[in-house]
Structure 1
Amino acid sequence: MNAGPAGLEAQPTATTYELGDLIPLAWGGRIRVPHFQRDFRWQSQDVLRLFDSIVKGYPIGNLLLWVRAQQAEEFMLGRLRLTAPTHNESLWVVDGQQRLTSLANALSAEGHPYRPFTVYYDLAAKEFVENPKSPEPHHIALPILFDLKKLLTWFRTDGLAASEHFDEAERVATALRQYKVPAYLVRQDDRDVLTDIFDRMNNYGRRLNRAEIFSALYSGEERAADDRLTLAKISDNVAARTGFGSIDTGTVLASVLARRGPDPMRDIRVEFSLSGRRTLPEFPDEDQLTAYSQGEEALVRAVNFLVREAGVPHISLLPYRALLVTLTRFFAHFPYPQPNNLRLLRRLFWRLSLVGPMVFKGSFTLFSRTLGSKIHPADEEGSLRAMLDTLSEASPVLPGADRFRTNEATTKIILSAWWSLRPRSLTSGDVLDAQNLDALLGSDRTAANAAPMVFPRLRDSRMKLLPANRLFLPTTSDPVSEIPALLAGQPLDIDESTWDAVLASHLLDRDVAALADRDRDVFLALRQQRVLGHLAGFLGRMAEWDYEDTPSLDSLDLDREFDEFDEFEETDLPAPPEVD
């Protein structure tokens, strides 16, 4: 067995830092995150739990800090742009990045406005909360709570109405500033020893995911690391360019790899080398930066197809990640498909959404490998037909619609069907567009916040879970706690025809809507029928099971004899079942 680096020259030094001293060190640039570290990946709930643990005095784990000399340099720590001064003993985080980044940003006025760092303390409820939609006088932002001078000023001004909670604020502020964080300081010049420690700490008990390993392998030199394109930056760029939300870095990596070869699950350790590979890359002369930038472009084209052609407006409505990986490979080789081929691709997407898990045994690897192998550069028509042929033995199906859970593929399909209705606000009558959806969901993994319950307190759990008990309302202006009353009464400032359009956009009419405030069971039964009927119609239009998968006219050799066109005949597939 390879012994690896020789080891540490001296044992780490144990010490403790109070947060009141540690966080200013981070703000002053003394604490850095090595570029071989994983990207920041905590969500709002992780940050809330961290602060809750601190105030309760719970341990939050040790820090492992690498002590080394550092020249002056600007860098990013989460959302903070900081300047690191020249120093002989800068502190580089080997273990504790997520915790330190969260603390430094949530407690800073510059980092606090950005999710997931927008944390407040509810002085009345005595708990940490994410950015409240309707701030109350007893909600105080963490940067104010952490700074004694700002805290005293706040109680004399904006927080005057919360003066009765001063003792609670002082208690929490003191607990935050005086909380002691244990740390080990490692003094070691050999970078390989530190990366070996990092590898062992992140692979024994809590393994790195594939995207994090890939990012570490190809992280490059420390110099200009902040400006280098990474998987996380590709995700951010695609979200900013398309409004599609944040794609996880695992899917970004698979998409980048799918563009360069048919198997996105291949060995990543030789990706930018010609030696040790089983097959040659389809873009053998490109470097890593080109692979990343061109991967981003192909991913953007794939996302635009989903939004404009397939009717999937946000990542939270995508049934399966493997579909996006396959589309990225297709658009990498065929950036501008023929119009008829776009229709065939839409047809393929929806058929795969419905039967793909059955055909490919629910395996991301089998799904992406099989379809990736069917996409042949320079053969757009052949690639499409080969992918469609993988479903030739599959029968049309309709997904079950007896429960609504936003993390499940069936619900995502239902939401896409509802999106085609162009849902409208119940209070203004305005059509809610993709910008509303992206503003509400942002980086959310599911569309839960855009699909409130009509009746959240139903006793019958089966009725409560029905899609009929949900509306697609991607807006913060409609009071979701008042949906039954909103449905039962037309607002005074909305005219008759607009109100009819509002109700129709939620699969309702005046008669059914009026039942929301009178007879819940009948309301849900009638709307569930409409949900099923609309879903069948939507999928019939999108998947087009009973249409011939013929190529575009431009691809046909019209000089050939007609009996040579047998290869274009489609296996007969039954039409989707009718829904009562």
Structure 2
Amino acid sequence: MAAHVGSRLSTATPYIKDLNTQVRKGEIKVPQFQRPFVWGVAQALDLLDSVANNYPIGSLLLWRTADKLATERNIGEFKLPETEDLTPTDYVLDGQQRMTVLYSALGAEDEGIGFSAVYDLEAEKFLEEKPGERPLHHFPMRWLYQTTKLLNFRTALQSHKNADLLQERFDALIEVFSGYQIPVVTLRDLTIEEVCPIFERINSSGTDLSTFDLMVAATWSKGFDLNEKVEEISYSLEPKNYGEIKGTTVLKCLSVVQYESANRERVIALRGFKGSPDKMDSLVDRTRKALLRAVDQLATDFKIHSLSFLPYEAHLVILTYIYANNPNLSAQALRRVRQWFWRTSFSERYRGAPDDFVTRDLQAIKSFVLKGEDGSEETFGTGLTNAEIKKMVFRKNNSRSRAFILALAKNNPKNLTNGNTIDTSEALSVYNRKQFHHIFPEAFLKRTAPGVERSNLLNFCMLAAADNNRISDRDPKDYLPELIGDLGLHADDVLRSNLMPTADEYDYTMAELGTFFDARVDIVRREIFRLCSGAH
């Protein structure tokens, strides 16, 4: 692959003036998937200063292809001319912000829109051009390649009291900008399949570039916009609090429904629908319905009211595949879905798993859930041992942390302070760590046992932020017996709902972190085993 691409990779070092000419002619464009121009004035001035000092400013990466991509983004605020359909176009994959500054500051019309800069020959620095009268020693950078205006400025500069010094500085400025060359790497006539892996690795600007963005641009036409199809699906999920679903996730869902694969090659194959909008509409409708059923189960069965608490993207993709193939699951199939979900969550099966791994699991899901074949539940993992549970630490992006929170929510927890049932749909609608309470408060442990891990999962339960503040940093030996006394006959029920030992099973007046974990771990392990067995 590398050698194949390398044979169609060219490098050049054009002058800034020549690059700007290509931009002005519409030969270089910014594809739709790129973010808008976001650089501030300070960043733009720093770039010009780097050129003036002959510092390297990085290379540009272009993709030359005769395929016309969606190019709603021009260069900054500048509307560029259309090119003939058969004329190859260079699309900017990396370097849009730098190219925009160079075109706006050096290539645009004098009174054109966008960033405009002057060089202060006295202070020897670049400034943003402001409306009003321009001082004699301020050179408008947009005159750089306009010979007549450049010579007129130099002539006028002779009347300055420091004419000789400023003209020397001016000549040096013109020389460095006129001779400055920028490394440009051009990928020539590569297919979208070849460009995607290159494109996905580009992150010099801190932008999250993805196959989805490239797919949107590569499939765009006046009669078909993949982004609109994805937005249609996202919009339908908004009432269920899943509207923030990523475009790449939707593409994978479309792909598993159509091809039984989440691999990049099959995702890219979806562009074949560009010429068949009716078929794409049908696929989008089928996927949307399956996604809605998947989200319904995630919310009602697994208490996942937001993507923030979904252990893995793979869970939504695979669940969509299941419901696309069987919209009305039997009780046995639902039990098997639960087994698969909890086992993969607690075993961290999809941690760092590539798409081809998820794709292979689709076949196991087809056998286990859709066909009801026996003996494959162990494929997805098993329950945890006491030792493994004791080592688990609360981490926002960790599947075991999320699964533990969901296990708590499944148990319909009641508030430790008053016995009221906690609204888990509200607590789990958006990630907020304040909804989760350290049974042994962080501040208390920091004060009494500074070397101990304070965020073990066994040290957490669900509790509203206001009640969390009420407990503050108190010693559990004090506040827990007090709360148990206030709860009276309901105390055992409230403690069980939080997967905590009852007052008969554990003496809270003698509560210590280690003994509490020993008493709680068996309760948590049994609940994990129950869920991994497919219990509702």
Q: Tell me the TM-score normalized by structure 2.
A: 0.54
Measure, in 1, the Cα distance between the counterparts of 2:425 and 2:97: 31
The equivalent position to 1:416 in structure 2, one of 406, 413, 420, is: 406
- Cross-structure match for 2:270: 271
Measure, in 2, the Cα distance between the counterparts of 1:199 and 1:396: 38
Contact kept? 2:393, 2:456, Cα under 8 Å: yes
Query: 1:537 is matched by which residue type in structure 2?
Result: R
- Cross-structure match for 1:209: 210
Measure, in 2, the Cα distance between the counterparts of 1:88 and 1:319: 45
- Cross-structure match for 2:228: 228
Query: 1:435 is matched by which residue type in structure 2?
Result: E
- Write the deviation string for residues 407-456 of structure 1: whole angstroms up to 9, x where unpaired: 22222221122112323456674522313421x42xxxxx6454354324
Contact kept? 2:414, 2:422, Cα under 8 Å: yes
2:517 is the alignment partner of 1:528: yes
Q: Residues 235 and 526 of structure 1: is their aligned pair in 2 closer, same or farther, counting only changes over 3 Å?
A: farther
Contact kept? 1:258, 1:325, Cα under 8 Å: yes
- Write the deviation string for residues 221-279 of structure 1: whole angstroms up to 9, x where unpaired: 3689698122xx3674365232357444433332221111222115143334399xxxx
Query: 1:383 is matched by which residue type in structure 2?
Result: K
Q: Residues 384 and 303 of structure 1: is their aligned pair in 2 closer, same or farther, counting only changes over 3 Å?
A: farther
Query: 1:306 is matched by which residue type in structure 2?
Result: L
What displacement does 1:530 show?
4.8
- Cross-structure match for 1:564: none
- Write the deviation string for residues 363-406 of structure 1: whole angstroms up to 9, x where unpaired: 34354222212455xx99653427x5263696654453323232
2:409 is the alignment partner of 1:431: no
Contact kept? 2:442, 2:454, Cα under 8 Å: yes
Contact kept? 1:356, 1:362, Cα under 8 Å: no
- Cross-structure match for 2:289: 297
Return the index of the structure with the highest Cα Rg.
2
Query: 1:540 is matched by which residue type in structure 2?
Result: F
Contact kept? 1:298, 1:332, Cα under 8 Å: yes
The equivalent position to 1:383 in structure 2, one of 364, 371, 385, is: 371
Measure, in 1, the Cα distance between the counterparts of 2:497 and 2:384: 25
What displacement does 1:528 show?
2.3
The equivalent position to 1:451 in structure 2, one of 436, 439, 445, is: 436
What displacement does 1:4 show?
9.3
**What is the total number of aligned residue pairs between the two structures?**
385
Query: 1:421 is matched by which residue type in structure 2?
Result: N
The sequence identity of aligned pairs, in percent, is 16
Contact kept? 1:235, 1:246, Cα under 8 Å: no
- Cross-structure match for 1:44: none
Q: Residues 481 and 235 of structure 1: is their aligned pair in 2 closer, same or farther, counting only changes over 3 Å?
A: farther
- Write the deviation string for residues 510-567 of structure 1: whole angstroms up to 9, x where unpaired: 969x999x97xx343354245423322222322228x9xxxxxxxxxxxxxxxxxxxx
The equivalent position to 2:360 in structure 1, one of 350, 362, 370, is: 370
Q: Tell me the TM-score normalized by structure 1.
A: 0.50
- Cross-structure match for 2:319: 327
Q: CA RMSD in A?
A: 5.8
- Write the deviation string for residues 469-524 of structure 1: whole angstroms up to 9, x where unpaired: 33324x55445484445972879xx8756777655543457969x999x97xx343
Corresponding residue SS for 1:422: coil
Measure, in 2, the Cα distance between the counterparts of 1:224 and 1:366: 29
Q: Residues 229 and 4 of structure 1: is their aligned pair in 2 closer, same or farther, counting only changes over 3 Å?
A: farther
Contact kept? 2:342, 2:531, Cα under 8 Å: yes
- Cross-structure match for 2:183: none
Listed as ranges, the gaps of 5+ residues in structure 2 are 22-28, 51-56, 61-71, 83-90, 99-187
What displacement does 1:98 show?
10
- Cross-structure match for 2:310: 318
What displacement does 1:335 show?
0.8
Measure, in 1, the Cα distance between the counterparts of 2:226 and 2:382: 50
Query: 1:36 is matched by which residue type in structure 2?
Result: Q
Measure, in 2, the Cα distance between the counterparts of 1:380 and 1:414: 24
The equivalent position to 2:391 in structure 1, one of 373, 378, 402, is: 402
Question: Mapping of 1:275-286 within 5 angstroms?
Answer: none
- Write the deviation string for residues 72-105 of structure 1: whole angstroms up to 9, x where unpaired: xxxx99xxxxxxx997899x99879999xxxxxx
Question: Mapping of 1:95-110 within 5 angstroms?
Answer: none
Measure, in 2, the Cα distance between the counterparts of 1:356 and 1:528: 22
Corresponding residue SS for 1:264: coil
Query: 2:424 is matched by which residue type in structure 1?
Result: D
Contact kept? 1:503, 1:509, Cα under 8 Å: yes
Corresponding residue SS for 2:411: coil
- Write the deviation string for residues 112-141 of structure 1: whole angstroms up to 9, x where unpaired: xxxxxxxxxxxxxxxxxxxxxxxxxxxxxx
Measure, in 2, the Cα distance between the counterparts of 1:298 and 1:98: 40
Question: Mapping of 1:323-362 within 5 angstroms?
Answer: 323-355=315-347, 357=349
Measure, in 2, the Cα distance between the counterparts of 1:393 and 1:201: 33
Contact kept? 2:290, 2:324, Cα under 8 Å: yes
The equivalent position to 1:467 in structure 2, one of 431, 451, 457, is: 457
Measure, in 2, the Cα distance between the counterparts of 1:414 and 1:248: 25
- Cross-structure match for 1:557: none
Measure, in 2, the Cα distance between the counterparts of 1:228 and 1:400: 44
Measure, in 2, the Cα distance between the counterparts of 1:409 and 1:315: 12
Corresponding residue SS for 1:373: helix
Measure, in 2, the Cα distance between the counterparts of 1:527 and 1:434: 28
Measure, in 2, the Cα distance between the counterparts of 1:416 and 1:393: 18
Contact kept? 2:293, 2:327, Cα under 8 Å: yes
Measure, in 2, the Cα distance between the counterparts of 1:203 and 1:470: 38
Corresponding residue SS for 1:471: strand
Corresponding residue SS for 1:465: coil
Query: 2:288 is matched by which residue type in structure 1?
Result: E
Measure, in 2, the Cα distance between the counterparts of 1:526 and 1:448: 25
Q: Residues 94 and 364 of structure 1: is their aligned pair in 2 closer, same or farther, counting only changes over 3 Å?
A: closer
Measure, in 1, the Cα distance between the counterparts of 2:273 and 2:404: 45
Q: Residues 255 and 530 of structure 1: is their aligned pair in 2 closer, same or farther, counting only changes over 3 Å?
A: farther
- Cross-structure match for 2:88: none
The equivalent position to 2:18 in structure 1, one of 5, 11, 18, is: 11
Measure, in 1, the Cα distance between the counterparts of 2:383 and 2:364: 22
Higher helix share: 2
Q: Residues 431 and 337 of structure 1: is their aligned pair in 2 closer, same or farther, counting only changes over 3 Å?
A: same
The equivalent position to 1:544 in structure 2, one of 516, 533, 536, is: 533
Contact kept? 2:200, 2:210, Cα under 8 Å: no
What displacement does 1:325 show?
1.9
Q: Residues 417 and 221 of structure 1: is their aligned pair in 2 closer, same or farther, counting only changes over 3 Å?
A: same
Measure, in 2, the Cα distance between the counterparts of 1:335 and 1:423: 31
Contact kept? 2:501, 2:523, Cα under 8 Å: no
Q: Residues 417 and 366 of structure 1: is their aligned pair in 2 closer, same or farther, counting only changes over 3 Å?
A: same
Query: 1:433 is matched by which residue type in structure 2?
Result: T
The equivalent position to 1:243 in structure 2, one of 241, 244, 247, is: 241
Measure, in 2, the Cα distance between the counterparts of 1:212 and 1:227: 9
Corresponding residue SS for 1:270: helix
Contact kept? 1:272, 1:288, Cα under 8 Å: no
- Answer with 259-268 or 426-435: which moved more: 426-435
Listed as ranges, the gaps of 5+ residues in structure 1 are 15-32, 41-46, 65-75, 78-84, 100-191, 276-283, 442-446, 548-580
